[in-house]
Amino acid sequence: MAIPAAQVLALIESHGECNDHRFYAIALQIAAKEARSGHVKIASQISEKVNKYQFSRYPSTNLKKEIDSNEDIRGLIELYLPTHRLSELFLCDETKNRLNLIIKEHKRKDELHKFDLRPRSKLLFEGCPGTGKTLAASVIASELNLPLYKIVLESVISKYMGDTASHLKKIFKYVSENQGVFLFDEFDSIGSERSNINDVGESRRTLNSFLILLEQLQSDSVVIAATNHPQILDEALNRRFDDIIKFKLPSDKEIKDFLENRLSMFKTEHLEWEKIISLSQGLSLGDINKAFDDGAKQAIFDNKGVIVSKHLVNSLERRKYSKAGRGN
């Protein structure tokens, strides 16, 4: 293994400046180069060492300082260090199993590299609001012991010609140099049809830029685009993602499992499950969770924390009425 002199100098310089973030980024670049050269074993060893030490020695305050001090991506990316686990997701078995497989692929990526295979790392999450897309991104980050970076799309998208594409280039450069889970939430603002009759040239250029950057990306990071409106996304996107995962509204069983989990710390009396589940149908788990919180608060106020059917029924009815009024 011959490391280019420029990278050796950069390693020494970053170490001398106590810049751990840059040091590990350069180490990952070396690992990626070695993997491309067929030196899979040494590439895996470098990646393992980085994964072992990077975040155990690098507290969130330092990561945040690194982002805030980086003029290229300041204001474009927000840092989170989630602690959610896969067991916290109340999803259909198919969706949960696919997420679990993605996590397994990344945890065992060294085994895949030996056969010139890579874990799925470019993902599209589709589903109604509140179905668990953002939480799933947090779970992937937490299970892989990686930071979660949320892309601030309102800052990325600019009214000035060329600025949005420039922002995207800076973000993808950061993705290529820093390992993490990167979430483009409400991706519709970038990924809508290029042929849309209300479209203008700038938004078409923005989507083209994103497609090229995503296709060219070579990184151990996970990039997730999440959308509430898959029907308006450009068809060209489907070919760029390694996997498209659909987040559906919960089944009756998933509704009951979720509510029983939330009810575990409360006393209950005479719950009419058939009525509660019927009212929950058509709502996302996010909406059901909010309705539960409202009902639990009312139970605390008028019944010393004992939840009966009326608490959940009334709050679910209000939630459904509110949703109907908004046309959702």
DSSP state string for 86-146: GGG----HHHHHHHHHHHHHHHTHHHHHTTT-----EEEEEE-TTSSHHHHHHHHHHHTT-
Please check the confidence at residue 258 and state whether its pLDDT lies above 60.
yes
Q: pLDDT averaged over the chain? A: 86
Please check the confidence at residue 242 and state whether its pLDDT lies above 60.
yes
Q: How confident is the model at residue 29 (pLDDT cuts 50, 70, 90)?
A: confident
For 322, the token pair is: 């509110």
For residue range 39-86, what is the model confidence (pLDDT) as tens digits? 767 877 787 777 666 655 445 566 777 777 788 888 999 999 888 888
* 124-128, 185-189, 219-223: least confidently modelled range: 185-189
Cβ atoms within 10 Å of 136's Cβ, excluding its own: 27
pTM score, whole prediction:
0.77
Q: How confident is the model at residue 262 (pLDDT cuts 50, 70, 90)?
A: very high
For residue range 79-119, what is the model confidence (pLDDT) as tens digits? 998 888 888 888 999 999 999 999 999 999 989 999 999 99
Instruction: Report DSSP state, residue 37.
Output: T
CA 132 vs. chain centroid, Å, equals 10
The reported pLDDT for the residue numbered 195 is 46
CA distances from 50 to 33, 42, 55, 229, 292 (A): 15, 12, 9, 37, 42
The reported pLDDT for the residue numbered 65 is 73
The reported pLDDT for the residue numbered 198 is 47
Find out if CATH 1.10.8 is the number for domain 252-325: yes
* 18-22, 141-145, 208-212: least confidently modelled range: 18-22
Cβ atoms within 10 Å of 144's Cβ, excluding its own: 20
Closest CA to 187 of 240, 250, 120, 248: 240
- For domain 60-247, give the CATH number: 3.40.50.300
Give the CA-trace dihedral at 304, 310, 311, 314, to 10 degrees: -150
Please check the confidence at residue 202 and state whether its pLDDT lies above 70.
no
Q: What is the mean pLDDT of residues 291-313?
A: 94
Tell which wins on pLDDT, 326 or 308. 308
> What count of Cα atoms within 13 Å lies in the side-chain half-sphere of residue 199?
19
Calculate what percentage of the chain has a pLDDT beyond 90: 53
Q: How confident is the model at residue 325 (pLDDT cuts 50, 70, 90)?
A: low
The reported pLDDT for the residue numbered 41 is 73
Domain ranges of the chain: 5-57, 60-247, 252-325
For residue range 152-175, what is the model confidence (pLDDT) as tens digits? 999 998 877 678 899 999 999 999
